[in-house]
Every structure is written in C-alpha cells, then in structure tokens.
Amino acid sequence: MDNGGGGGGGRPLSDNHSYPSAFCFSKPFKMDDGGGGSVGGGGVSSLIPNRRINEMDFFAQKETAKVDVKREATAHDGLAQGFHINTGLNLHLASGGSEKSSVDGGTSPSNKEKLNMSDKMVGLRAELENMNKENKQLRAMLSQVNNNYSALQMHVVTLMQRQHNRRAEISPANEVNTEGKVGERSRNETIVPRQFMDLGRASMAEKDESSPSWSGSRSPQTNEDASMESRRRKTGSTSNENKDGGREESPDQSLQGGLPNKVPKFNCSQDVEQASEAMSMMRKARVSVRARSEASMISDGCQWRKYGQKMAKGNPCPRAYYRCTMATACPVRKQVQRSAEDRTVLITTYEGHHNHPLPPAAMAMASTTSAAATMLLSGSMPSPDGIMNSSFHSRTMFPCSPGLATISASAPFPTITLDLTHSPNLLQHQRPNAQFHVPFQNLPQNFAPGSHAFNPVLHSQSKFSALQSSPEIQPPQVGTEQVLKPSSSSSSDTVTAATAAITADPNFTAALVAAITSIIGNVHPNNSSNSSTNTRSSNVDNTIGKSNFVDN
DNA sequence: CGACTTTGACCGGCGC
DNA sequence: GCGCCGGTCAAAGTCG
C-alpha cells in the first residue's frame, strides 16, 4: 500500500489544543498526599482556594505589619528608627532621607503634619514591601505546588502501572472479561496512565497515532482499523484519505523501522503493542453531544466536509458523516443524526483529535471532546475486582451530576455523551463566563454548586465502572444496560478517586462548560449560521437538515 | 473552476 | 455462508 510512503508527513501541529497534562488527577492527589508543600500539595485545581486562604493569611500579616509601622513611627521621635523596624529594606533610605531632610530643615508649624505624612509613606512602603514579599512567596508556593503535583502524578502513574503489572503476573487469566478481550484490556490498562500523565502527548500520539495500532498484527479490537486500512489500501486513495492514513503510516514506519520515538518508554514489542492498543482505543473514543437544534448541524467552529450519509437502522433520520477539513490530515470525524425519539434533538458524535490549531470557537468543543474522550478512556484503568473489565455493557452515572450525569456502556466504541437537552435554560443562556458556573452539582470543592443552568448528562459507553451508579438515569440510546456498582476495594478506590478527580477537575469542567457554551451559542437556531468557519457547509447543511427534519 | 454535497456502491464486521 | 449494518469511497452533480 502506498500509505507507507510519504504522505505521512509530520504532524508538527499535533495536538496543540490538547489539554495540559495537569488537567487530570488534581483532586485525588491533593486529597491523598495533600501534605506536600505549604499549600497542601493540591493539584492545580486546588490552587485557587488554597491561595485565597494564604492570601488572607498574608494580608493578616500585612495588617499587623502596618500597625507596627504606625506604632513605631509615632512612638519614636526619630523617623529613621521607624523605617528600620518595618521595612528592613534599602528602599526607605532614599526616600526616607529626603523626608528626613525636609523634616529637619523644616521649621514650619506643620511639622506634625509632615511627620504624619511621612509616617503614612513609611506605612505604604512597608505595605508595598510586604506585598512584594507576599508575591514572591506565592510564586514560590505555586511552583512548589506544581512540583509536588507533578511528582505525585508521576508517582501515581508508576503505582498504577506497577499494580497492573503485578496483577497481570499473578492472575492474567482471572481477569473478568465478558468480551474475551483480556489481553487487550490489560494492555490498555497499562497504557492509560500515560494518558493521564501527558494528555497532550497522548492525544498527539493518538493522532499520529493511532499509530502503532494500524500496524500488522493486532488484537481483535483493531478490526475496524484494519478494515479501514484495507479499504484505503484497496482504494489506493492518495490525497486526503492517504493523509488521513498518514496517521497510519507513521505507526507502521515506527514499527518497521524500530521503536517509535514517541514511545520511548516501551522497551519491548509488547509494550509497543500495548501502546498501539491504547492509542487505538483513544482514537476510537467518541464524544457525543445531544442538543436541541433545528439546524442540521451544530456549529462547533470547525470546518467539516460531508463524506457520506446513511440511513441508520432504527432511526428514520439519516446519519451524516463529516470529516474535519481544517487541515488535510485531520483525523477528526463526526456523525450527525437526529434523535429518533425527539427529532428536535441533534446528536453529534465526534471521533478523534484535531491535529491542527483551532479557532477559539472550535477549541472549546475540541477540548471538550478530547477531554471527555480521555476521561472516558481513563476509566479503563485496572481494577482489582475485575468489575471494570466487563465494561462494555455497563452504564454508570457520573458522580458529579447525580440523576443527570450518567455513564453507560455498550457498543464497540467507548462513547461519552453530553446531553444538553435536559437543560432547557441552556439554550437561552449565553454567558461568556460560564466556566465559573459549574455544570455539575456535586463537585466537591472547587465548584460553586449554585448554578443549575448546566446539567449535561454524560452517557458513556465505557469502562467507567468505578463511578457511582444510579438507576434513575434514563436508558441510553444504545442497547440495554445495567447499572454498575462501584467497586469497593481499595485499589479501585484509587481508580475511583482518579476518575472522580478527572470529572471534578475544573479544567475539564471548564472545557466542558466552554464547549457547552459554544454549543449553546451555535445550536440556537438564530446562531446556527454564526460560525465563520462553517460558512458554506453550514448553510447547505441547514437546508439539508431542515429538509431532513421535515421529511423525516 | 474549485469546493462541497449527493448518492449509489463497496467493504468488513457481526449475528444468525 | 448469507444477509444486515455501519462506515467509507468516489463519481457525478451543485453552487457561488
């Protein structure tokens, strides 16, 4: 196949839009290892509240310092002495000298006033100095917290990997897996932590990606990939598809020409295979957005090209297939289909990660989908009791949104669904600062639960067994599902904590809310054609969509 | 004329 | 093995 050839072109842009690695893991680390650092070793997410506390402390110090200044200044005849006590810096010397000279030379009756003035100045300087100190301290603390965070992240990842390896050694055959994908799953587990560790790279690799997964021998899970590859091989497509396949080439090259540079940590072929599996899974992760819209497609800031349309079984509305055209090799695709039950609901399913810079409008959605996908896949982490392994026909609820946020499972691809149809207010609110109104009601600390404007229901066809479940959730679209119960073992607690951390991570929620906001703005009929990047396609799609909507 | 959509055909996976 | 189904391709058509 010619894929091996050139097109592969580097993907220099890669996932610039990917969320920072710090994006996950914040909370559990803080909770578990809070000790580190004066700020409590919290993750990034915990910085703000902690910092506030510290700021208050500092201000308290500052206040006392100010009082001292005044007291000193008024208590002593000589001004200079007051200076010494409070600032302890050279700054006061120059100004103090001038003041002193003026005072000394001044024989005016308003001597007292001048004294007071100088006292005030002294106080202000002292305050300024304290603020500077405070600033430095805060910076130091911030860097320390960051360091602690990174260290903890690494530590947890290492532990996870170790734990999994141990389990794999002890009872590889005991792993519960109704899908008969034991090996595959375990491989995934091994990899997932890396995604936690470096989402940016993970997602980039995914693009690049899906890399090794496209190579020769793979687990059954990569069947789709194989089929796609074979299809492309057959068609011998050269342009887009090939570049699209470009992401496939690099992997092949990587494998054939030695270990890929991007996976230096994997020393043996098995590791490479594991990586490929993880990447494959990552690529397959889908994020579905349900929103009410009369338009045929929500404007998410990206440019899409329709490459197919099919009548899906069980739904009178056709399903349209779109490919991102903002970059030639962008692997991102999406499916748009109206809900069979409620045709005002538009279901948009995203797959893959953009490999190019995105406009802000698109960034929100891309970040959200990528984050959701990452979070989704992160749920496939190892669990000692094996509950997580049975995954694919399970559905659980997001702990962050009781009664609304759910995770469901079924289907060949892990899919997370953001259901915006349950929050009618969404369509009416377009608040730029929405990220401060956290959609989830149950988020422990970092969120203000006051706003109920956003209640995205997260369905997930995934391995999120560690999350809490709830029977009150409406059944997902696909298949029949059962509610999973959270695993109770200590190790799974770790997993649960990690997963909860992700869902509770303000970065994720912020991205989510940003995307939702974006969606809202675009979903609204009046805004359906607002996207500058979606010029022609949206118009056409609107027409098509309306006709579809009417016809169907 | 280029970009994009439409649409029938094709392919592989999967269940029976 | 066969047929269904989801997903993709690519030639033809459409539009600005």
pLDDT tens for each residue of A347-373: 888 888 888 888 877 777 777 777 777
| Cα(A311)–Cα(A462) distance, integer angstroms | 25
CB A78 within 8 A of CB A66: no
Strands A286-292 and A415-419: parallel
Instruction: Considering only CA atoms, name the residue closest to the C1' of nucleotide C5.
Output: A313
Through-space separation of residue A551 CA and nucleotide C13 C1' in angstroms: 22
User: Which bases in strand C are touched by protein, i.e. have an atom under 7 Å from a CB?
Assistant: 4-10, 16
Tokens 């100190």: give the residue: A133
The secondary structure of chain A in percent helix, strand, coil, rounded to multiples of 5, reads: 55, 10, 35
Query: A316 beta carbon < 7 A from strand C?
Result: no
Query: A258 beta carbon < 7 A from strand C?
Result: no
| Cα(A468)–Cα(A461) distance, integer angstroms | 14
Q: Mean pLDDT: which of A42-46, A90-94, A300-304, A521-525 is highest?
A: A300-304
Whole-number Cα distances in Å, A319 to A81, A293, A299:
81, 15, 17
CB A514 within 8 A of CB A32: no
Name which residue leads in pLDDT, A355 or A536. A355
Query: A172 beta carbon < 7 A from strand C?
Result: no
State residue A50's pLDDT score: 35
pLDDT at A5 over 70: no
Nucleotide nearest to A304 (CA to C1'): B4
Q: Which two tokens stand for residue A65?
A: 């310092």
Instruction: Considering only CA atoms, name the residue closest to the C1' of nucleotide B5.
Output: A306
Read off the pLDDT of residues A116-126 as tens digits, 9 standing for 90 and up.
888 888 888 88
Q: SS3 of A323, please?
A: strand
Query: A112 beta carbon < 7 A from strand C?
Result: no
Through-space separation of residue A97 CA and nucleotide B15 C1' in angstroms: 93
Instruction: Considering only CA atoms, name the residue closest to the C1' of nucleotide C16.
Output: A536
Whether the full predicted model's pTM is greater than 0.95, yes or no, is: no
Query: A325 beta carbon < 7 A from strand C?
Result: no
Give A23's DSSP letter.
G
State residue A127's pLDDT score: 85
pLDDT band with cut points at 50, 70 and 90 for residue A129: confident
pLDDT at A344 over 80: yes
CB A421 within 8 A of CB A460: no
| Cα(A80)–Cα(A78) distance, integer angstroms | 5
Nucleotide nearest to A544 (CA to C1'): B5
Read off the pLDDT of residues A455-508 as tens digits, 9 standing for 90 and up.
344 444 333 333 333 333 333 333 333 333 333 333 334 434 444 444 455 555
- Per-chain mean pLDDT for chain A: 49
State residue A154's pLDDT score: 58
Q: SS3 of A194, please?
A: helix
The CA-based angle A499-A19-A331, given to 5 degrees, is: 105
Strand B proximity list, CB < 7 Å: A 220, 223-224, 226-227, 230-231, 234, 303-310, 320, 325, 412, 536-537, 540-541, 543-544
Q: In what order do the strands lie in the sheet with A415-419?
A: A304-311, A318-324, A333-338, A345-351, A286-292, A415-419, A457-461
CB A384 within 8 A of CB A167: yes
